[in-house]
Structure 1
Amino acid sequence: MAYYECVFIARQDISATQVEGLCETFSKVISDNGGSVVTTENWGLRTLSYRINKNRKAHYVLFNIDAPAPAIHEMERQMRINEDILRYLTIKLDAFEEGPSVMMQSRQRDERPRSYDNNDDSNTPVAVVAEAATVESAETASDGAEA
């Protein structure tokens, strides 16, 4: 069997559970025709570069598929028929990539907690200067008391 990668975008006005239902439907089509969906990545609701059928946003989903060509043709036929699918693209691969896709890697990088606790270097010199001024004023006060 051959390896395929399929990305489809669904309308913005359907819910996330409906998107999961579409994923299950297309996975079932693949498995009924002798293939298997290796991984499914839901990229979520993203802004489109241009309007497609009056939609400015869409749900993106990626499938990695190990299936014969007739299974892919049937899945694409089902995608053409389904009104919720705006676009799809299926490409043939030599092998699957290890780990998450580039989109998921960038999403994970964006969701990482930031380690900036507003500890800028610009604040540190002010505190050091203020501390030094306090020490100097204490020294001059003690020098004046000794004299």
Structure 2
Amino acid sequence: MSFYEHVFIMRQDLSNTQAEALIEEFSNVLSANGGSVVEQEYWGVKTMAYKVNKNRKGHYAFLKTDAPSAAVAEMERLMALHEDVMRTLTIRVKGHEEGPSVQMQKRDDRADRGERRERRS
């Protein structure tokens, strides 16, 4: 089995409980097809850089999975058919990093970024 990271955006007019139920639904699809969800994160409603399907905001979700490619393909197929899912991104990774994703970390906890450089005028 391979490691994957999935990010998907759901419509903004869903409630938080509906968005989390949708995350659970896609997690169950992976589990039913022989995969497992290592970690899941609900990032909340965020503003997008441009309009997608006439929406300016969306519910963001992040999944770390260990699944065969057939399970991932089935989940992506169901996401594409679901009317509440606007965009998806799946990336195969060599391994999962420990701890929360960068999106969930506090700004002060991001010590590995280094110092900011002064801008030259």
TM tier relative to shorter chain: 0.7 to 0.9
2:83 is the alignment partner of 1:101: no
Unaligned runs of 5+ residues in structure 1 are 111-147
Residue 68, structure 1, aligned to residue 87, structure 2 = no
Q: Which has the higher strand share?
A: 2
Max Rg structure: 1
Name the CA distance, whole Å, in 1 between partners of 2:2 and 2:76.
16
In structure 2, the gaps of 5 or more residues are: 109-121
User: Aligned partners of 2:90, 2:30: CA distance in 1, in Å?
Assistant: 13
Across the two proteins, how many residue pairs are aligned to each other? 108
Q: Distance in 1 between matches of 2:43 and 2:25?
A: 18
Q: CA–CA distance in 1 between the matches of 2:78 and 2:18? A: 16
The RMSD of aligned alpha carbons is 0.9
CA distance in 2, matches of 1:102, 1:78: 27
* TM-score normalised per structure 1: 0.72
| 1:46 shift after superposition | 0.2
1:86 aligns with 2:117: no
Alignment partner of 1:98: what SS? coil
Identity of aligned residues (%): 57
Query: TM-score scaled by structure 2?
Result: 0.87
Deviation at 1:109, TM superposition (A): 3.2
Q: Which runs of 4+ in 1 moved over 4 A?
A: none
